[in-house]
Amino acid sequence: MKIPHARPRMAENPKQSVLVRMGGEISMPVERIVSLVPSLTESIFKLGAGKKLCGRTEFCTQPEGEVEGIKTLGGPKSIDGDRIMKLAPNVILASREENEKDQIMHLLSKIPVLLVDPASPEDAPLIWRALGALVGESQKAETLACEVEKELQTTKSLTDERNEKGPRFIYFVWKKPWMAAGHDTYISRTLALAGFQNALPDEHRRFPELSDEELHACDADVHLFGSEPWAFYLPEDLLIKNEAGFAELEKSIFRVEEGPISTLVNSESISWYPSRAAEGLRYVRELREKMSKFC
Protein backbone atom coordinates (compact mmCIF):
# COMPACT_ATOMS: atom_id res chain seq x y z
CA MET A 1 0.00 0.00 0.00
CA LYS A 2 1.40 3.39 -0.98
CA ILE A 3 1.37 5.90 1.86
CA PRO A 4 0.35 9.40 0.66
CA HIS A 5 2.91 12.17 0.86
CA ALA A 6 2.30 15.73 1.99
CA ARG A 7 4.37 18.86 2.26
CA PRO A 8 6.10 19.21 5.64
CA ARG A 9 3.31 21.14 7.35
CA MET A 10 0.45 20.50 9.77
CA ALA A 11 -2.67 22.42 8.76
CA GLU A 12 -5.21 23.63 11.32
CA ASN A 13 -8.28 22.50 9.34
CA PRO A 14 -9.76 19.54 11.30
CA LYS A 15 -10.93 17.90 8.06
CA GLN A 16 -7.55 16.50 7.10
CA SER A 17 -6.31 13.36 5.44
CA VAL A 18 -6.60 10.30 7.67
CA LEU A 19 -3.01 9.31 6.95
CA VAL A 20 -0.21 11.65 5.85
CA ARG A 21 3.48 10.96 5.26
CA MET A 22 5.66 13.98 5.90
CA GLY A 23 9.37 14.52 5.46
CA GLY A 24 11.66 12.17 3.53
CA GLU A 25 10.99 8.87 1.80
CA ILE A 26 10.18 5.74 3.78
CA SER A 27 11.72 2.49 2.57
CA MET A 28 9.31 -0.27 3.53
CA PRO A 29 9.24 -2.46 5.44
CA VAL A 30 10.93 -0.37 8.11
CA GLU A 31 13.12 -1.80 10.84
CA ARG A 32 13.23 0.97 13.46
CA ILE A 33 10.12 2.83 14.65
CA VAL A 34 9.50 5.51 17.26
CA SER A 35 5.86 5.73 18.30
CA LEU A 36 4.57 8.86 20.01
CA VAL A 37 1.01 7.59 20.45
CA PRO A 38 -0.03 4.86 22.92
CA SER A 39 -2.62 3.33 20.62
CA LEU A 40 -0.20 3.18 17.69
CA THR A 41 2.41 1.52 19.90
CA GLU A 42 -0.16 -1.12 20.82
CA SER A 43 -1.13 -1.48 17.16
CA ILE A 44 2.43 -2.29 16.12
CA PHE A 45 2.49 -5.07 18.71
CA LYS A 46 -0.85 -6.40 17.45
CA LEU A 47 0.75 -6.69 14.03
CA GLY A 48 3.48 -8.84 15.55
CA ALA A 49 6.13 -6.18 14.92
CA GLY A 50 6.86 -4.99 18.44
CA LYS A 51 10.57 -5.73 18.03
CA LYS A 52 10.74 -2.94 15.43
CA LEU A 53 9.88 -0.32 18.07
CA CYS A 54 12.99 1.43 19.36
CA GLY A 55 11.30 4.31 21.19
CA ARG A 56 7.96 5.19 22.83
CA THR A 57 6.40 7.76 25.14
CA GLU A 58 6.10 7.11 28.85
CA PHE A 59 2.35 6.77 28.33
CA CYS A 60 2.80 3.93 25.84
CA THR A 61 2.23 1.20 28.44
CA GLN A 62 0.33 -1.39 26.41
CA PRO A 63 0.69 -4.27 25.90
CA GLU A 64 1.82 -4.58 29.49
CA GLY A 65 4.75 -6.93 29.90
CA GLU A 66 6.04 -6.25 26.36
CA VAL A 67 6.71 -2.52 26.05
CA GLU A 68 8.88 -2.14 29.13
CA GLY A 69 12.14 -2.82 27.31
CA ILE A 70 11.57 0.00 24.79
CA LYS A 71 13.24 3.34 25.54
CA THR A 72 10.93 6.13 26.74
CA LEU A 73 11.18 9.60 25.27
CA GLY A 74 8.92 11.78 27.42
CA GLY A 75 5.18 12.33 27.07
CA PRO A 76 3.20 12.65 23.82
CA LYS A 77 3.28 16.46 24.19
CA SER A 78 6.75 16.75 25.75
CA ILE A 79 8.97 14.45 23.72
CA ASP A 80 12.78 14.49 23.89
CA GLY A 81 13.77 15.24 20.30
CA ASP A 82 17.50 14.74 20.90
CA ARG A 83 16.95 11.23 22.26
CA ILE A 84 14.80 10.39 19.25
CA MET A 85 17.54 11.53 16.87
CA LYS A 86 20.08 9.33 18.65
CA LEU A 87 17.84 6.29 18.15
CA ALA A 88 17.96 6.87 14.36
CA PRO A 89 14.48 5.51 13.56
CA ASN A 90 13.32 4.95 9.98
CA VAL A 91 9.96 6.55 10.79
CA ILE A 92 8.10 8.30 13.60
CA LEU A 93 4.44 7.51 14.23
CA ALA A 94 2.45 10.52 15.44
CA SER A 95 -1.09 11.81 15.73
CA ARG A 96 -2.44 15.28 15.04
CA GLU A 97 -4.55 15.10 18.19
CA GLU A 98 -1.95 13.61 20.56
CA ASN A 99 1.26 15.42 19.62
CA GLU A 100 2.45 19.02 19.53
CA LYS A 101 2.73 20.63 16.11
CA ASP A 102 6.07 22.40 16.72
CA GLN A 103 7.75 19.25 18.01
CA ILE A 104 6.61 17.20 15.03
CA MET A 105 7.68 19.94 12.60
CA HIS A 106 11.16 19.88 14.11
CA LEU A 107 11.44 16.10 13.91
CA LEU A 108 10.21 15.70 10.34
CA SER A 109 13.02 17.92 9.07
CA LYS A 110 15.34 14.99 9.87
CA ILE A 111 13.17 11.85 10.10
CA PRO A 112 10.04 10.86 8.12
CA VAL A 113 6.80 11.13 10.09
CA LEU A 114 3.63 9.14 9.49
CA LEU A 115 0.82 11.26 10.90
CA VAL A 116 -2.61 9.74 11.55
CA ASP A 117 -5.82 11.70 12.06
CA PRO A 118 -8.88 9.42 11.97
CA ALA A 119 -12.34 10.94 12.29
CA SER A 120 -14.00 7.72 13.48
CA PRO A 121 -13.59 3.91 13.52
CA GLU A 122 -14.57 4.01 9.85
CA ASP A 123 -10.99 5.18 9.18
CA ALA A 124 -9.37 2.38 11.20
CA PRO A 125 -9.18 -0.19 8.34
CA LEU A 126 -7.12 2.24 6.24
CA ILE A 127 -4.72 2.81 9.13
CA TRP A 128 -4.39 -0.95 9.81
CA ARG A 129 -3.49 -1.58 6.16
CA ALA A 130 -0.97 1.27 6.08
CA LEU A 131 0.73 0.11 9.27
CA GLY A 132 0.81 -3.44 7.93
CA ALA A 133 2.60 -2.27 4.80
CA LEU A 134 4.96 -0.20 6.93
CA VAL A 135 6.17 -3.17 9.00
CA GLY A 136 5.80 -5.91 6.38
CA GLU A 137 2.74 -7.55 7.98
CA SER A 138 0.05 -6.88 5.39
CA GLN A 139 -1.72 -10.21 5.91
CA LYS A 140 -2.18 -9.62 9.65
CA ALA A 141 -3.23 -6.06 8.94
CA GLU A 142 -5.87 -7.23 6.49
CA THR A 143 -7.34 -9.57 9.10
CA LEU A 144 -7.52 -6.73 11.64
CA ALA A 145 -8.97 -4.31 9.08
CA CYS A 146 -11.66 -6.80 8.07
CA GLU A 147 -12.57 -7.31 11.73
CA VAL A 148 -13.24 -3.58 12.07
CA GLU A 149 -15.26 -3.54 8.87
CA LYS A 150 -17.40 -6.41 10.13
CA GLU A 151 -18.06 -4.64 13.44
CA LEU A 152 -18.91 -1.43 11.59
CA GLN A 153 -21.49 -3.25 9.51
CA THR A 154 -23.00 -4.92 12.59
CA THR A 155 -23.12 -1.65 14.54
CA LYS A 156 -24.74 0.31 11.72
CA SER A 157 -27.28 -2.45 11.07
CA LEU A 158 -28.35 -2.60 14.72
CA THR A 159 -28.60 1.18 14.92
CA ASP A 160 -30.72 1.28 11.76
CA GLU A 161 -32.98 -1.48 13.09
CA ARG A 162 -33.69 0.51 16.25
CA ASN A 163 -34.93 3.39 14.10
CA GLU A 164 -34.97 5.68 17.14
CA LYS A 165 -32.91 8.47 18.60
CA GLY A 166 -30.43 7.24 21.18
CA PRO A 167 -29.51 8.84 24.51
CA ARG A 168 -28.12 12.39 24.50
CA PHE A 169 -24.66 12.25 26.08
CA ILE A 170 -21.88 14.37 27.48
CA TYR A 171 -18.51 12.59 27.48
CA PHE A 172 -16.17 14.09 30.08
CA VAL A 173 -12.42 13.96 29.46
CA TRP A 174 -11.20 16.40 32.15
CA LYS A 175 -12.11 18.04 35.43
CA LYS A 176 -10.98 21.41 36.85
CA PRO A 177 -12.07 22.76 34.40
CA TRP A 178 -14.69 20.44 32.98
CA MET A 179 -13.85 19.44 29.40
CA ALA A 180 -15.95 17.25 27.14
CA ALA A 181 -15.72 15.62 23.72
CA GLY A 182 -17.27 17.76 21.01
CA HIS A 183 -18.93 16.71 17.78
CA ASP A 184 -15.75 16.54 15.64
CA THR A 185 -13.93 13.98 17.78
CA TYR A 186 -13.21 10.30 17.33
CA ILE A 187 -14.91 9.67 20.69
CA SER A 188 -18.15 11.38 19.72
CA ARG A 189 -18.33 9.71 16.33
CA THR A 190 -17.67 6.29 17.83
CA LEU A 191 -20.63 6.74 20.17
CA ALA A 192 -22.74 8.14 17.32
CA LEU A 193 -22.27 4.94 15.33
CA ALA A 194 -24.22 3.14 18.09
CA GLY A 195 -26.94 5.80 17.99
CA PHE A 196 -25.85 8.07 20.85
CA GLN A 197 -26.36 11.81 20.30
CA ASN A 198 -23.87 14.42 21.47
CA ALA A 199 -25.77 16.84 23.76
CA LEU A 200 -23.24 19.67 23.49
CA PRO A 201 -24.24 22.71 21.41
CA ASP A 202 -23.28 22.28 17.77
CA GLU A 203 -20.55 24.94 17.93
CA HIS A 204 -18.49 22.77 20.28
CA ARG A 205 -16.53 20.72 17.77
CA ARG A 206 -13.39 19.64 19.65
CA PHE A 207 -12.78 19.59 23.45
CA PRO A 208 -14.35 22.73 24.96
CA GLU A 209 -14.04 23.91 28.55
CA LEU A 210 -17.53 24.16 30.07
CA SER A 211 -19.01 25.61 33.23
CA ASP A 212 -21.46 23.75 35.46
CA GLU A 213 -24.21 26.02 34.16
CA GLU A 214 -23.41 25.26 30.51
CA LEU A 215 -23.35 21.52 31.20
CA HIS A 216 -26.71 21.60 33.01
CA ALA A 217 -28.21 23.50 30.06
CA CYS A 218 -27.29 20.66 27.67
CA ASP A 219 -30.13 18.53 29.05
CA ALA A 220 -28.22 15.28 28.54
CA ASP A 221 -29.66 11.84 29.26
CA VAL A 222 -26.26 10.33 30.06
CA HIS A 223 -23.03 11.64 31.57
CA LEU A 224 -20.11 9.44 30.54
CA PHE A 225 -16.94 9.77 32.61
CA GLY A 226 -13.81 8.44 30.92
CA SER A 227 -10.96 6.46 32.44
CA GLU A 228 -8.38 8.77 30.76
CA PRO A 229 -6.83 11.30 30.44
CA TRP A 230 -8.52 12.29 33.72
CA ALA A 231 -9.10 9.18 35.78
CA PHE A 232 -12.63 9.80 37.02
CA TYR A 233 -14.13 8.07 40.05
CA LEU A 234 -17.82 7.81 40.81
CA PRO A 235 -19.70 8.86 42.81
CA GLU A 236 -16.98 11.30 43.97
CA ASP A 237 -16.79 13.01 40.56
CA LEU A 238 -20.50 13.26 39.80
CA LEU A 239 -21.24 16.60 38.17
CA ILE A 240 -24.60 16.98 39.91
CA LYS A 241 -24.61 16.86 43.69
CA ASN A 242 -27.24 18.05 46.08
CA GLU A 243 -28.62 17.33 49.51
CA ALA A 244 -30.93 14.65 48.14
CA GLY A 245 -27.93 12.47 47.40
CA PHE A 246 -27.85 9.92 44.59
CA ALA A 247 -29.12 6.47 43.77
CA GLU A 248 -26.87 3.68 42.51
CA LEU A 249 -29.02 1.99 39.88
CA GLU A 250 -26.47 -0.72 39.15
CA LYS A 251 -22.79 -1.08 39.91
CA SER A 252 -21.11 2.22 38.93
CA ILE A 253 -24.33 3.60 37.37
CA PHE A 254 -25.76 6.56 39.28
CA ARG A 255 -28.65 9.02 39.13
CA VAL A 256 -29.28 12.14 41.19
CA GLU A 257 -33.06 12.70 41.53
CA GLU A 258 -34.41 13.02 37.98
CA GLY A 259 -31.10 14.06 36.45
CA PRO A 260 -29.01 12.24 33.84
CA ILE A 261 -27.57 8.77 34.27
CA SER A 262 -23.87 8.90 35.19
CA THR A 263 -21.48 6.03 34.51
CA LEU A 264 -17.80 5.31 34.05
CA VAL A 265 -16.59 4.18 30.64
CA ASN A 266 -13.42 2.58 29.31
CA SER A 267 -11.75 5.40 27.35
CA GLU A 268 -9.24 3.09 25.69
CA SER A 269 -12.04 1.08 24.08
CA ILE A 270 -13.75 4.20 22.77
CA SER A 271 -10.74 6.26 21.68
CA TRP A 272 -7.71 4.11 20.87
CA TYR A 273 -7.19 3.76 17.12
CA PRO A 274 -6.77 1.49 15.30
CA SER A 275 -5.82 -1.00 18.03
CA ARG A 276 -9.17 -0.94 19.86
CA ALA A 277 -11.50 0.05 17.00
CA ALA A 278 -13.24 -3.34 16.68
CA GLU A 279 -13.39 -3.76 20.45
CA GLY A 280 -14.71 -0.21 20.78
CA LEU A 281 -17.61 -0.82 18.42
CA ARG A 282 -18.67 -3.86 20.43
CA TYR A 283 -18.27 -1.80 23.60
CA VAL A 284 -20.50 1.10 22.49
CA ARG A 285 -23.19 -1.33 21.30
CA GLU A 286 -23.24 -2.91 24.76
CA LEU A 287 -23.21 0.53 26.39
CA ARG A 288 -26.20 1.62 24.31
CA GLU A 289 -28.08 -1.52 25.32
CA LYS A 290 -27.28 -0.95 29.00
CA MET A 291 -28.29 2.72 28.91
CA SER A 292 -31.57 1.90 27.18
CA LYS A 293 -32.76 0.35 30.46
CA PHE A 294 -32.57 3.71 32.21
CA CYS A 295 -33.11 6.36 29.51
CATH of residue 11's domain is: 3.40.50.1980
Residue 115 lies in a domain: yes
CA distance 42 to 61: 8
**Model pLDDT, residue 29:** 94
**Same domain? 285 vs 167:** yes
Residue 89 lies in a domain: yes
Phi-psi region of 221 (alpha: psi -120 to 50; beta: other; left: phi over 0): alpha
Taking the chain (295 residues) in runs of 10, the rounded mean pLDDT of each run is 42 56 87 97 98 96 96 88 93 92 89 94 96 97 98 95 89 95 96 97 95 92 94 86 74 86 96 97 96 88
Peptide bond before residue 8 is cis, with ω within 30 degrees of 0: no
**Model pLDDT, residue 240:** 67
**Model pLDDT, residue 289:** 94
**Model pLDDT, residue 272:** 97
Residue 144 lies in a domain: no
Q: Based on the structure, what is the number of domains in the chain?
A: 2
Exposure letters 20-42 (e unless 16+ CB within 10 A, then b): bbbbbebeeebeebbbbbbbbbb
**Model pLDDT, residue 188:** 97
**Same domain? 171 vs 132:** no
Backbone angles phi, psi at 252, to 5 degrees: 65, 20
Residue 73 lies in a domain: yes
**Same domain? 170 vs 283:** yes
Apex CA 234: angle with CA 191 and CA 171, to 5°?
25
Whole-prediction pTM: 0.90
**Same domain? 120 vs 198:** no
**Model pLDDT, residue 165:** 85
**Same domain? 179 vs 68:** no
Q: Find residue 225's DSSP bridge partners.
A: 172, 264
Domain span holding position 74: 5-137
**Model pLDDT, residue 242:** 56
